[in-house]
Structure formats: C-alpha cells, structure tokens
Amino acid sequence: MSLTQNFVQPTPDDLAQQFVSFAVEAGVLRFGDFKTKAGRMSPYFFNAGLFDDGAKLGRLAQFYARRLLSSSLQFDMIFGPAYKGITLAAAVAIELARLGHNKPFAYNRKEAKDHGEGGTLVGAKLAGRVLIIDDVISAGTSVRESIAMISAAHATPCGVAIALDRQEKATENGADVDWSAVQYVSTQLKLQVVAIATLADLLQYLRSTQDASLAEHAPRVEAYRQRYGV
C-alpha cells in the first residue's frame, strides 16, 4: 500500500500560522539556498537549535502543549531523545504542568554512565503510554531508537510530537521514495504523529503574508514541494 497522500489545499490553521510567524521572527525558519542532508537544495531551512533563549523556548513549549492538548493523542509521560529532544521534553513538561496537566518526563544519554545511577536513561521511570518529543522527523532513526528504549523498559510508545512536518519524500540508499519520514512513522511504526505545523502551513503563510520580502519566497517553496513533496 502506498504511503503517499494527494496534495490538498490546506485550510488555514490559526495555531500553525502563529507558529510559522513565530519561527520566522525568531530566525529559526529562514529562506534562501540550503543543502539538506539528502543533498537537495532547499529554499527554506528550519533549525530548532535557534530556539536558544528562555523566551523563545518557553513560547515553543506553549505551541507544543496547545497542539497536544487539542489532539486526540493520549499519553502518560514524555520522552526526549538526545540531544534536542532533551530540552524539548523538559520545556513541554513544564508548560503542560502550568496548564494543569503534570506529566513525568525522561530522556536518554548517548553513552551509558558507569557510575552514580548508571545506564542511559535519566528522569522518570519509563512506564505507561510514552510520548516522544523531537523537532522534526528526518529519517525516522531517532524514533526507532526511542521505540527500542521505551519497549525495552516495558513501556508503550504511543506517539511522536514534532514542531514541523516537512511533508517531503524520504530517501533510501540515496534515492527518493514515494513516502515521507512522518508517513513511515505513522504507517509502518504505527505511531500517531502530531505536528505543530507542516510545509503546507508554511506555504499558506507565505501566500497570505503582507510582507513582500517573505511573499517572494512562495514560488520557490511551492516548486520545491511539487518536486519533493508527498
């Protein structure tokens, strides 16, 4: 069965539009010429590492929390895969608690610790339905590794929350395939994926903005999606 979906004209999503605007203002979402890990020349670049101060990180956490609370995804705790997921998990747990939804969180180390508490896992004990939080899903590698750790602890991975769904074809052995990494996680790994915004939302923002310097990037982003999108 194909994992692809037909392009549809997006219905404006207020939360997604607010998030894209915030990402642009914060310098996290940039336009120009950028080479992706897959070797493609992309007209935009999303770097979540640039949510790099307390105000930006706090607002980012608000977007994650609002999207999660408005979704149908049910979870008991949060897991943040090293490295970006660590900060995201902590920030989102704080924001959810502020909103009256206190959830434990945990994260992993890249290398096992041989002293103190030892091991690769830090924080609350993995148990129940575990939500994985990351910035994007590029190849699904981080998600698969997280699933393995969660399952080894006899807990249940239940979903993935990301900031931006690129809605872009994945690659295998250097060749494009007809599905995205998000579709792979959803269909093959059977995990619900919740994204604050998508590439379709980004295009909607560029088409509707009153900022001419931003609007001029819409045709190139649209052409990129027509070529690599799913």
Residues with catalytic roles? 113, 115
Contact 130, 160 (CB under 8 A): no
Contact 160, 137 (CB under 8 A): yes
DSSP, collapsed to helix, strand or coil, labels residue 109 as strand
- d(CA 6, CA 164) in angstroms, rounded, equals 19
Compute the half-sphere exposure of residue 213: CA atoms within 13 Å on the CB side of its CA.
4
Angle at which helices 199-208 and 218-228 cross, to 10°: 160
Structure tokens at 132: 């994985």
Beta-carbon contacts of 32 under 8 Å, excluding residues fewer than 6 positions away, are 43, 44, 45
Burial (CB count within 10 angstroms: exposed 0-12, middle 13-18, buried 19+), residue 126? buried
8-state DSSP, 99: T
Compute the half-sphere exposure of residue 135: CA atoms within 13 Å on the CB side of its CA.
19
